[in-house]
Amino acid sequence: DSGVTQTPKHLITATGQRVTLRCSPRSGDLSVYWYQQSLDQGLQFLIQYYNGEERAKGNILERFSAQQFPDLHSELNLSSLELGDSALYFCASSLTTGGYEQYFGPGTRLTVT
Amino acid sequence: AQTVTQSQPEMSVQEAETVTLSCTYDTSESDYYLFWYKQPPSRQMILVIRQEAYKQQNATENRFSVNFQKAAKSFSLKISDSQLGDAAMYFCAYRSALQTNAGNNRKLIWGLGTSLAVNP
């Protein structure tokens, strides 16, 4: 158990819908990262937050957004969902924004039908 | 841009034997970190081992060790005394060590993974 929690574990929704994925980092970790794992593109970095502020952006679509709250949990919002958004979404956390070890949550499996 | 390549999509090993998974990377940076992560059927991403580029000594964690060849940009993972529980996808990942506020250097860059089967 990495100490990073993600909810829900599974999510099935229809195209055009909007969903929110939630992540709670390890106790004491200030930095949260979101990754997408799909069959055709492997693991891709989406976005990073540190202590409530956005710090880095990767291959994140404009339909996706994220935030980190004062209690350090983070939410990834996916809207206008398409079939291609079906993937495993991971959250990871690290101690500081420079902390090089990232610990991963169990992931949320999103299926868009 | 940095890239990570795992040239072996699938590998197999007999229980108790040793197997080596390959990883090469491309970067112009001199300071960085390299990782091997394991993803079993449960899908949990588990950190197996890490290597700091400035360290010449190869990292070791119990039955897992790496062969880090900085000049060749190679970072292979050796699993000794393979166990059934080692069966998983193994991902090699790179992270820059640049200390800037630009932010993007903190992301992990991933290979496509190697699926390891352990035969009893």
More confident residue, A18 or B30: A18
Q: Which residues contact A6 (CB under 8 A, 6 or more apart)?
A: A21, A22, A23, A24, A89, A90, A91, A105, A106, A107, A108
pLDDT over threshold 60, residue A100: yes
pLDDT over threshold 90, residue B96: no
pLDDT tens, residue by residue, A77-98: 999 999 999 999 999 998 865 5
pLDDT over threshold 80, residue B104: no
Whether residues A42 and B110 touch (CB distance < 8 A) is answered with yes
Name the token pair of A76.
């990834």
CA gap B28, A37 in Å, rounded = 26
Pick from A31, A35, A106: CB nearest B43 = A106
With pLDDT > 90 as the criterion, what percentage of chain A qualifies?
A: 76
CA gap B37, A101 in Å, rounded = 11
Name the token pair of A16.
């055009």
Name the token pair of A47.
């976005």
Pick from B45, B95, B111: CB nearest A100 = B95
* Most A CBs within 10 Å, among B31, B45, B51, to test the A interface: B45
Contact A73, A81 (CB under 8 A): no
pLDDT at B100: 62
pLDDT over threshold 70, residue B19: yes
Strands B114-119 and B88-96: antiparallel
pLDDT over threshold 90, residue A66: yes
pLDDT band of residue A59 (cuts 50, 70, 90) is: confident
CA of A59 vs chain B CAs: smallest distance (Å): 11
Q: B25: which DSSP letter? A: E
* Most A CBs within 10 Å, among B23, B49, B100, B107, to test the A interface: B107
Residues of B in contact with A108 (CB under 8 A): none
Pick from A48, A101, A107: CB nearest B107 = A48
A44-58, B63-77, B92-106: which range is least confident on average? B92-106
